[in-house]
Structure 1
Amino acid sequence: MALYVYSITAGEHPRHLDGLSGVGSHPASLQTVTAGPLCAVVSEVSEEIRPKRRDLLAHQEVQERLMSEGPVLPLQFGYIAPDETTVRQVLEENEDGYLSALRRVEGCAEYHVRAFQEDEEPLLLQILKDSAEAGDLHRRIRGGDPDPQLPLALGELVAREVQARQEVLAGGLSEALLPFAREHVTRPPTGNDFLNLSLLVADERKDAFLTARDNLAREIDGGTGLRFAGPLPPYSFVQASAP
């Protein structure tokens, strides 16, 4: 039967999974497939698994339980292997890489940091105040100047200023947080975000990191918001192949 694959651990990991159930409309019990020094946590499935809330939560609960007891290589939601033989083969073929990755993330958790423009008005007002050119264009438009190019020129100027200031702020936020991380991954922002940062933070640096996070959240202004998530399984820092 096909197997849904949750994660990979070292063989000595406790893997206390009592009380957890697998994904799917008829959740099967969790089990392990062992190959040498590695284990994969799996459950049997007989259907296509879609990202429904119940299944996403079940997937995440397995990762969090495992992470609480030792290092884990979490697979992204949706990995299905045709059988145990395939899972075991992948573990054997990637043994060195998986063991190395487990050592890298041992004693660490992932944290996400996103910065976004919560309210544009304070930033726009500050730009009009700081930029003589933007202020002049704004006054001419407000004064009734009929030149049709003025709104376009002002819009382009403000857009450049917004981007420049957000880039500076994103750099400052990253600079303040990176010293607490063993590794980091920066991804392209989406939506109204201008910073999308993942940090791998060791347990002994957790308290200092959280203090720095709280300080930043208090200090940041200008209509900017921060979203923090974690501790999380280290999805961004492992590349566990799908069996």
Structure 2
Amino acid sequence: MEALYAYAVVSADAALPRDVDAILPGAGFALVQAGGCAALVSLVAREPFEAGPGCRGDDPAWVAARAAAHHAVVAALPGAVLPLAFGALFSGAAPLAAWLAAREAALMAALAQVEGCAECTAKLEEDPARHAAWLDEHDENLRDLARRARDATAGTAFLLARTREKRMAEARAARATMLARDVAARLGRHAHVMPEALTALVRRADLPALMDDVAATASDLAESGIALRLVGPWPPYAFARAALSHA
């Protein structure tokens, strides 16, 4: 049996992708329209995607290749795009058109919001040993515990060492929370920050300023054992998930 594999919601006048392979070899592309919006689809066999004897969902290599193909198609779409989750199947054009029509107003508003935008995610990654060494130098409480342990008897030194371990864990967690808030605020200077952690929808024209800001922050943090990197830009996956969940 066949089904329509849906990649993304786009405007009704969107161009079909070129120079990119469909989700399955040999499948073409088409648009299913409903009012001002449409879904980009390919006609595919259902079996590889659905539970049953022909399902390929338990083949990691196949899933990885198909997920990469899905992303390549979405990334090749010009204009505003709301990516759908990998594996979205519809039984035919009529059910898909009905699904679009029931959400047209919300989908059109979301498409307008992502026009000219991309999505980025900031990643904070800790080097525990370097971060702990930095905190040893900069946290007065930790320095005081270390001084007291050096001058204490063996039993007291042991207890102080345990206290210091707990304080170190608390200090690492507190600084991670503080840095996450600071990075979110920096993203907010340039972009629309979404509920998903440190993810933002940014106008492509503002990407250079955002990247410069993140790079400067990353340089400041590097010596403290915290790496900051910006992942993306890519299609607005997180934004689309949020928009579609409320559409």
- TM-score bucket of the superposed structures, by smaller chain: 0.7 to 0.9
| CA distance in 1: counterparts of 2:212 and 2:21, whole angstroms | 36
**1:28 matches 2:43:** no
In 1, Cα distance between equivalents of 2:216 and 2:205: 19
Ranges in structure 1 where 5+ consecutive residues have no aligned partner = 188-195
1:111-135: per-residue Cα shift (whole Å, max 9, x none)?
Answer: 1111110x22232223333445433
Map 1:101-180 → 2, pairs under 5 A? 101-117=110-126, 119-138=127-146, 140=149, 145-147=154-156, 149-180=159-190
Where relative contact order (Cα < 8 A, 6+ residues apart) is larger, the structure is: 1
- 2: CA distance between counterparts of 1:98 and 1:163? 39
- For the structure 1 residues 36 and 151, does the alpha-carbon distance in structure 2 shift closer, same or farther, using more than 3 Å as the test? same
Greater helix percent: which structure? 2
Paired residue for 1:64?
75
AA of the residue aligned to 2:7? Y
- Alpha-carbon deviations, 1:186-235, whole Å to 9, x = none? 44xxxxxxxx4111111221222222222222222211112322121111
Alpha-carbon spacing, 1:179–1:132, altered in 2? closer, same or farther (3 Å):
closer
Distance in 1 separating the partners of 2:204 and 2:116 = 6
| TM-score, length-scaled by structure 1 | 0.83
Between the aligned partners of 1:130 and 1:204, the Cα distance in structure 2 is: 38
**1:223 & 1:214 partners in 2: Cα distance?**
15
Tell me how far 1:141 sits from its aligned partner.
7.1
Letter paired with 1:233: P
Can you give the 5+ residue segments of structure 2 that lack an aligned partner in the other structure?
A: 50-56
Summarize the Cα distance change of 1:81–1:56 in structure 2 as closer, same or farther, 3 Å threshold: same
Q: TM-score, normalised by structure 2?
A: 0.82
Superposed CA RMSD in Å reads 2.3
Superimposed CA distance per residue, residues 28-66 of structure 1 (whole angstroms, 9 cap, x where no aligned partner): 212221222221111122223336221111100111111
CA distance in 1, matches of 2:229, 2:84: 24
Does 1:205 find its partner at 2:206?
A: yes
The answer to whether the Cα contact below 8 Å between 2:74 and 2:235 also exists between their aligned partners in 1 is yes
